Structure 1
Amino acid sequence: MTVPPGSLHRVVVLALDGTVPFELGIPGRIFGAAYGPDDEPLYEVVTCTVDGRPVRTHADFSIVVDHDATALATADTVVIPPFGACQPIDRLPEEIAAALALIRPGTRIMSICTGVSVLAAAGLLDGRPATTHWNEAAEFQRRFPRIRLDPDVLFVDDGDVLTSAGAAAGTDLCLHVVRRDHGSEVANRVARRVVVPPWRDGGQAQFIERPVPEPYDEGTAPARAWALEHLDRPITLPELAARAGMSVRTLTRRFQEEVGMSPGRWLSRQRVELARHLLETTDLPVDQVAHRAGFGTAVSLRQHLHAAIGVSPMAYRRTFHPQGDGETVPAHAAGGAS
């Protein structure tokens, strides 16, 4: 769902009994910080409960809202944060099912962390990809075997239904949606305004508890920082290993542990993100964008960009460049970056 320029997109957040305050506030904080070129707000965020009454939070206080579930019928996007004991539910309570029935067909629906269980219990994820907090993944998969669960990513974008992992991954997902709706420039401004990274490398693997933590020192961070400054040139594994002061084998293992992916995949992702930025913010010919991003040729850039987000460089530029014609970029699944 790409938001047309000049329209105010309505995001409705459903606060259920036992809602978790941190995640409940993420949509308002991220979408509420998104402004257009004339400093106009791009989203309206409202919060509702099933019956309009106050609900208890997972903390030691309750919240009062201004809307009941009828607000869901007015939503362009619905967000469901985690609630209760953050455990998956098998069956939707009648009142929640009735509330979800008010959502119009075609409305984008998002979940944060274990809020995904509402979507799962409603049958909205059967046969579709999704994610949830790594600590709940095994139990979630047991309860909902028809869902193609990916516990390694920070979020999954499956077009009209999007799911995210634990707490902060809700921020990643909301920023991804802003980027999908309005481009990287707007999303990056939001990230700066709320002082969070515009995207995070890797997936949930980097956050999973390990029985014996390893002393990483600086790990692969210096090598990654150097690589980001030299994406326009070929970068080899031995080169990265030398920058990190470790063997290729150790570098590969540390990359997987620290950012959740191999060095080659990480480099490819960074190059795609740089190419997207150049396509959005410059008028450089596609072959020059390919060169600066380290793909070498326009053909290689086209292949990598299509594999990552499903469109060609020119189609992407027409959508997100200030002079673009508004062509829609298809949704795609994403891991740590978008």
Structure 2
Amino acid sequence: MSSQSAQEGNGGGQPDELPSGPPYVSQFAQHGGIPTVTVDVPICAVLLACFLAGAILNMTIWKRNGRRGHKFHLSAVVFYFCFARMVACILRIVWATRPDNVRISIAAGILFNAGVLILFVTNLIFLQRLIRAHHPRFGWSKTLGWVFYFLYFGIFACFVMVVYAVVSSCFTLDRSMQSKFADIRRTSAIYMAFLASLPLPATLLLLVWPRKNAVDKFGQGSMTAKVVILLITTSLLATGAIFRASIGFMPRPIEDPGWFNHRAAYYLFNYFIELVVVYTLALNRMDKRFYVPDSAKKPGDYSKCATTADRNSLDDEADLNDGKAPTPGEERRLENEWEMSLQREMEHKQAP
């Protein structure tokens, strides 16, 4: 979560005296500073265009797969993330035109906090599928299922607590209450940093842990490629989450911000990292690589439910790991095989 303190959720410059009523203006340096028209508006406009392109790309993939009966709703989830980031950019532009409007800064901070959680959930889902593939019995166990449910609930609970702490802290000047709200935000930020980093050690552990059975393959492409994609996206998201959590323990006065409060760090460790993750997932076709059939409910179902064409495409797309680009003819053949496999899977589901 964002390390913005209760006061950090507020906007405006440093006033000579506190306003007569709430919400109160921040007296601490904010992550990203107070946006300005000359600097932040052009940057946010470029980011807005990039996230718009990412949203269109993921929605196109989702709609195209939907027409084939290929259900991979995580493409739609990433689309909603891009949409949330577009709204956050728009609010920051509005905030730049009204830097003294505290309520706009609060809304911008809340939306900023909410967006990245979607990518955390996406990576956790990928992690769960890899665990089920490498260690089916443990991966499909109720115990591990409840662990992931707890992690998802923790995301929701932390977000609610942070929203409450940020908003409430803007309506009080009591120092003890401000300290309690800051503790809530720091605790939530630490949990989010842990959650963003979790797929990294978990993936490495499942690779070295002795297996009793062969890997229960799913989707297209090699398992190595799936692992590499998850490790890259996790490393990026963890870097941003740890950076935001660290800022919460280094409050600076508004007249003397640290380097971590400046715009360059704000855009680099947040929006730029997220853009790399979005395009890494889309361009590497997560909808094919991380696809699992709906009928998979127990150990061994990933491979059992896969069609012959799916298994053949695993070998065909393994060339991606060797840096070999498929020829146009091979691309068409793989596309036809993929469509045929989906059609056979739909016919199998419709059969009595």
Structure possessing the higher radius of gyration over alpha carbons:
2
Q: Which has the higher helix share?
A: 2
Which structure shows the higher strand fraction? 1
Higher relative contact order (CA 8 A, sep 6+): 2
* TM > 0.5 fold call: no
